[in-house]
């Protein structure tokens, strides 16, 4: 498996993501945002976490204009698998590859902690190694993670099985750290090839670091 990891000025999770996928046996390519094209024979594009362009204007608002994004959009629109983690999720929203928008956290503070997630839909490539109702312990680290979508858009997400993950406590009860609509932590597009989540599975690869619950998440793209 060949993974392209796009790097912007201010990205700070590219090496975590590289480590995570190489640990799973994938080949990785760090792609600078000024490249015009993605490498050939890519199976997955990851937009990693961080603070692209210092989060000026809005998180992801400037990164969407980087030269490589035209190639990322073409890759996604042709059915290629794309994963946006934290700032990467914000960029996918700005691009319109995923529906909705991000606002500042409800408490207006940056949040950095482990938080439990519940799997809401596993009928997709990303979460195929998991089951609906599984509880995961994954780090979050964001200041603008308050996911918003209007009522009509929320209904479409539900009707199409696009809500993938929600914030919860260790027993699966709703525990919303940032104010996201219906405690949403991750979604996908209708075609189920573009995925975005605020939590950081690449930081949950080893029990010694607090959790290895990210392994099965990232393994989904690796196939059977």
Which residue of the set 33, 115, 142, 200 is catalytic?
Answer: 200
Is 86 designated active site? Answer: yes
**8 A C-beta contact, residue 188 and residue 196:** yes
DSSP 37: S
DSSP 132: T
CA distance 62 to 23: 31
Structure tokens at 12: 């700070």
What distance, in Å, lies between the first and last C-alpha atoms of the chain? 12
CA distance 149 to 59: 16
Q: Which residues pair with 209 in a beta bridge?
A: none
Is 224 designated active site? Answer: no
DSSP 28: E
Question: How distant, in Å, are the alpha carbons of 7, 13, 42, 223 from that of 78?
Answer: 22, 26, 12, 19
Is 33 designated active site? Answer: no
Which residue of the set 13, 14, 86, 188 is catalytic?
Answer: 86
> Which residues are part of the catalytic machinery?
86, 200, 202
């Amino acid at each position: 498996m060949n993974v392209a990891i796009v790097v912007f000025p201010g990205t700070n999770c590219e090496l975590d993501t590289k480590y995570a996928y190489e640990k799973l046996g994938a080949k990785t390519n760090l792609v600078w945002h000024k490249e015009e094209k993605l490498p050939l024979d890519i199976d997955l594009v990851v937009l990693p976490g961080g603070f692209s362009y210092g989060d000026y204007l809005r998180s992801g608002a400037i990164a969407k204009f980087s030269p490589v994004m035209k190639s990322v959009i073409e890759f996604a629109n042709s059915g290629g698998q794309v994963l946006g983690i934290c700032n990467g999720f914000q960029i996918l929203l700005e691009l319109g590859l995923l529906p909705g928008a991000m606002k500042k956290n409800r408490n207006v503070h940056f949040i950095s902690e482990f938080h439990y997630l519940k799997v809401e839909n596993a009928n997709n490539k990303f979460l195929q190694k998991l089951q609906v109702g599984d509880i995961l312990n994954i780090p979050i680290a964001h200041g603008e993670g308050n996911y918003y979508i209007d009522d009509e858009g929320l209904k479409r997400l539900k009707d199409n099985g696009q809500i993938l993950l929600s914030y919860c406590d260790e027993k699966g009860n709703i525990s919303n750290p940032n104010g996201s609509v219906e405690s949403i932590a991750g979604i996908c597009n209708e075609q189920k090839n573009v995925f975005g989540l605020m939590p950081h599975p690449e930081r949950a690869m080893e029990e010694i670091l607090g959790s290895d619950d990210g392994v099965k998440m990232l393994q989904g793209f690796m196939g059977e």
